[in-house]
Structure 1
C-alpha cells in the first residue's frame, strides 16, 4: 500500500484490492478505525477523497484515488516529559520501537511518577518536535529489558492494538531459566490468574485466563547452571513467562518472586529481544532486534543474533 505524509494528513493511494469499496468500508474494515475515532473524523471532516469531502456510505473509491486522513493533528502531551537517554530501534511517522533498560517502569503507576519509559519517550517527542503523546502498545515488567512498541497518533494505537489482540505482532524473548530445561522444545498451556495471597504475584489457576508460551532451548551454561531459552507468546498475561517457567520448575535466574535464586547480575533474566509485524499503513514487514544495553550483562549481541 502506497502512503505518504502531507503535513497533518496521511495520504493513501487506493490500491486495486480496494476498488469500488466505500469510504465507510475502508475506514471500518480495512483501517480498523474504532467507533469513537470514526465519529471524530466524521465530525471534524478529517477524511477527504481527491481533496474533496465525500459521503462515506455512498462514495465508492477507484484504484489510484487519493484518500487523505488527518491523523497527524497536534495532540496534547498527557504525561510529564522527563529527559532520559533512550535507545530508539525503529521509527517512522506512525510508530517507534524503544529498547527499554531493566530497572525502570514502562509507564507511571502512581500520581506524580515521572521516571518511566513513557516519560522519557515523551521527552524524545518534545525534543524532536513530535506534537503527540506517546502511547505504548504493550508493556514490559520493570526488571525486563528489550523492545517496546509505541504509537504516535490515535489511529496507530488503535490499529496496532488490534494487531496485538489478533496475535499478529510476534514478540520473541530470551530468558535464562534455572536448570536443564527438558524437553528442549515445547508449549506451556496453562491458565494464569491472580494469587490471592500476594498483591503482585500471579499463578497458574484453572479459573484464570488462557495463556500459551512456546519455548526452545538454545544452550545450557554449566557455570550459570541455567538454560538460555527462546520464547514466544500467543497471549500476553501479566508475568506470563515468569509464571509458566516457575510452574515448569525452571524459574528465571534472579526472579525471587517466582522461586528463582538471587543473582547479582539481574532481578529477572528476561529480555524482549525481537518484534516482528506487518506495518498497518505500509504493509511492509518490520523486524526489530533489541540489542542488550549495558545493564543487561546476561544477554549478548551474539545471543540476539542467534534469533536472526
Structure 2
C-alpha cells in the first residue's frame, strides 16, 4: 500500500502524432517536463501512470492513452504556518496569485522567520488540507505592493521560470518619481550588478548583468517636480526599477536606498514621503500563460490607498502652480 500524499494530478491525453513514443518523449514534447523532474517521478511508486496503471518513462504509449503525473506533496518544513489576511486574486490546484500589501516580506530570511507572505500562504493551504512548498515565481521587495504568483508544484514552477527566462511573462509597474523623465517615454538599457562598497545595494556598471526597463510617463506634477510612470521589464534584476530610475535622475519617491528623499528635501517632497511611507512602487499587472491550460491570463491590482493619497498630494502641486 502506498501511503504517500500526492499533489493534484497533471494529465495529458496522447495525440495521434505521438503514437508509439516513449512516455518521457511525450512529456518533454507536450509539457516541457525537465529531465530533473522526470528523475523525481521515477522515484515515486505511482507518480507516473498511464490509463490508471503505474508506468515508467521508457514505456511506449498509444494515441488516446491518458498519462498522469502525480508528484509527492511537499510540506514547507522551513516555513512556520501563520494566520494572516490574504488578498487572493486567483487560485486553482496548480497556481496561486496574490495582491501583496506593502510592508510584507515575501519569504523568510535569516533572523526573519515570521510575518512573511510565505507564512500566511502555508497556513492558508494547511487550513484547506493541502501541503505545498512555497515557490514564488518572482519576488517583490518588502515595500513594493502588488501582484505576485506562487506555483504549487515543481512542474508549474519550472514552466513559469522558463516563461520568465524567455520574456513571456509580462510585468507592469506604476512608480511615482522625483522629477520628470526626459524623454517622457523610452527604454533604459543599463547593466546592473552589486555595489562593491555596499553589497546589499545595486548599481549601474558596464560589467553588470544586462538589464532593460521600458517606461512611459503617465502624468507630470508641479511643473516637472514629480511624475507618475508606467514601467515594464524585459529583465528582472534585484531593485531594477529603483536603480534604473535613479540612473536617469528620477529616483522613486520615499526610496530610502536609492535617493528618493533625504536631508534638505523641499516641503512638498517631505510631505510626499510622509504620505507614501514607503518607496512609491506598485506591481500593477502580471501576464502569463497558465502551464496547465495554455490560457493567457492577466492579473491586475488597483493602486493601494497609500499611493492614491500620494497621487492626490502630487496633483495638488499643479493647483499651487496655477
TM-score (norm 1): 0.87
Deviation digits for residues 273-293 of structure 1 (CA, Å, limit 9, x no counterpart)? 111011111001111001234
Indicate conservation of the 8 Å contact 1:292/1:299, yes or no: no
Kept in 1, the 8 Å contact 2:8–2:93? The answer is no
- SS of the residue aligned with 2:158? helix
Query: 1:59 & 1:183 partners in 2: Cα distance?
Result: 59
Higher alpha-carbon deviation: 282-291 or 157-166: 157-166
Q: 1:157 to 1:7 in 2, by over 3 A?
A: closer
Structure 1 counterpart SS, 2:98:
strand
Say whether residues 1:85 and 2:96 are aligned partners.
no
Structure 1: distance between partners of 2:21 and 2:61: 5
Gaps of 5+ in 1: 1-5, 301-308
**SS, match of residue 11 in structure 2:** strand
Structure 1 equivalent of residue 50 of structure 2: 49
Paired residue for 2:287, among 276, 284, 290? Answer: 276
Change (3 A) 1:241 1:17: farther
- C-alpha offsets along residues 206-226 of structure 1, whole Å, 9 cap, x if unaligned? 111110001111122338932
Partners of 1:242 and 1:16 in 2: how far apart?
A: 51
Residues 226 and 95 of structure 1: CA distance in aligned 2, closer, same or farther (over 3 Å): same
Structure 1 residue aligned with 2:320: none
Q: Which has the larger radius of gyration?
A: 2
Does 2:12 correspond to 1:12?
A: yes
Indicate if the aligned counterparts of 2:252 and 2:260 stay in contact, CA closer than 8 A.
yes
For the residues of structure 2 that align with 1:250 and 1:178, how far apart are their CA atoms?
5
- 8 Å contact kept, 1:22–1:61: no
User: Is residue 236 from structure 1 mapped to residue 236 from structure 2 by the alignment?
Assistant: yes
Aligned to 1:117: 117
The normalised TM-score by structure 2 is: 0.84
**Range that drifts further, 115-124 or 223-232:** 223-232
CA contact (8 A) 2:180 2:224 kept: no
Q: Which has the higher helix share?
A: 2
Alpha-carbon distance in 2 for matches of 1:287, 1:135: 20
* SS of 1:258 mapped into structure 2: coil
Alignment match, 2:149: 149
CA distance in 2, matches of 1:18, 1:299: 57
| Residue-pair matches, total | 293
Q: Map of 1:1-308 to 2, 5 A cutoff?
A: 8-15=8-15, 21-44=21-44, 45-62=46-63, 64-71=64-71, 73-78=72-77, 79-111=79-111, 113-222=113-222, 225-261=225-261, 263-264=273-274, 265-297=276-308
Report the CA distance shift for 1:61/1:173 in structure 2 as closer, same or farther (over 3 A).
Answer: farther
Alignment deviations for residues 215-242 of structure 1 (CA, whole Å, 9 cap, x no partner) = 1111223389321111111111010000
Q: Deviations over 1:93-118 (max 9, x none)?
A: 10111111111211112145211111
Report SS of the residue matched to 1:273: strand
Show structure 2 runs of 5+ residues with no match: 1-5, 262-269, 312-322
- What's the C-alpha RMSD, in Å, of the aligned pairs? 2.3
Structure 1 distance, partners of 2:138, 2:117, is 12
